[in-house]
Homo-oligomer: A and B are copies of this chain.
Amino acid sequence: MIFGSDNWSGAAPEVSQALLKHSQGLAVAYGDSDLDKSIEKKFNEIFETECAVFFVGTGTAANSLAIAATMKPGGITLCHNEAHIIASEGGGPEFLSGGGRLIPVGGKNAKIDPGSLDEIASEYPKEFNHLGQKTMVSITQATEAGTVYTLEELSLLGEIAQKHEITYHMDGARFANALVSLDCTPAEMTWKRGIDMVSFGATKNGCWCAEALVVFNQDLISHFKFIRKRSGHLFSKTRFISAQFEAYFENDLWLKLARHSNAMGTAIEQTLRNSNHVRPAWPTDSNQVFFIADRQKAEEWLGMGARFHPFPIPKGMESEFSDNEQLYRLVASFITKQENIDELAEVFSS
């Protein structure tokens, strides 16, 4: 009954086997081994276009360094006010970009509202140094609320980014979950929508620590190697990341794992709908499910062994909560089993 987060899971056995397999022998360090090169090529195939690929070890690093790579003096990154980069990365993007700022934009269900984006971007005219200069809009796909931007929504935001001449970045910490939810190709969900760079996360979906910054617009990253190195994010034995990705992509393991965790998300949501004591906060599109419940009831369930966390109520939703109610999050992962959910259902019916 542990639904705390998808990063509470370990790694898929295939991933650890790949690490064992590639542990022997000598190979060039710092990203230049044959295995590294072959995985970079694999990313190009998967995205059906030429793209630069940079391995890092954490999502905070991938996101922050993406922001750093496109930062300008006094620069501003626009993102949803519930975005992980502004809410949960301890100031990483600001620090690693040398003092850049994040400006929040509103929108329902953790999706940036296109009108709001356009309006706020318009508040920063070029060359007006008192306000700073806008440089990027970053979205999260799947979002922090478990929802998924449709392809149309992605395109619309891309057009606004282009109009304002800012970089369009996707935080793909749960890229695979969004992809199988939309049932489209990686290309269709990214550069065909105008996306310039993706933080491609594999850690939450079955790897130990495997993240890649994938860049379609290569003008953006001429100095990226130096940016990664000076922030301590260049691993010497990079093949240990490549090995994880090798297993991740082999036989579509990544899509299978994501389909499973999404299906578990749907099963959890169904459980919530069947309960008299809780209600879903909004429909989920992926592996994260949010529900509203009485605080005292939730405490009881936690006492019975269920593991989940309260979550900040999004701006504008306060009125949907009574005084005793709180928002909670349940996260399924690639190792969640139906029986875990059955147990949860039992608890929630008490």
Contacts and interface: CB of A to CB of B under 8 A. Distances in A.
A297 interface: no
A53 to B, nearest CB: 16
Interface string A81-120: 0000001111110111111111000000000000000000
A347 interface: no
A16 interface: yes
B99 A237 contact: no
Interface residues of A, number: 83
A279 interface: no
Give the residue among A98, A127, A226 with the most B Cβ atoms within 10 A: A226
Contacts of A236: 5, 7, 58-59, 203-204, 209
Contact of A240 (B24, B208, B312): B208
A98 B96 contact: no
A28 B4 CA distance: 8
A89 to B, nearest CB: 7
A244 to B, nearest CB: 10
Interface in A302-350: 312, 333, 335
Nearest to A74: B226
A10 B29 contact: no
Interface string A191-219: 00000000000011000110000000000
Interface in A12-68: 12-13, 15-17, 19-20, 22-30, 56-61, 64-65, 68
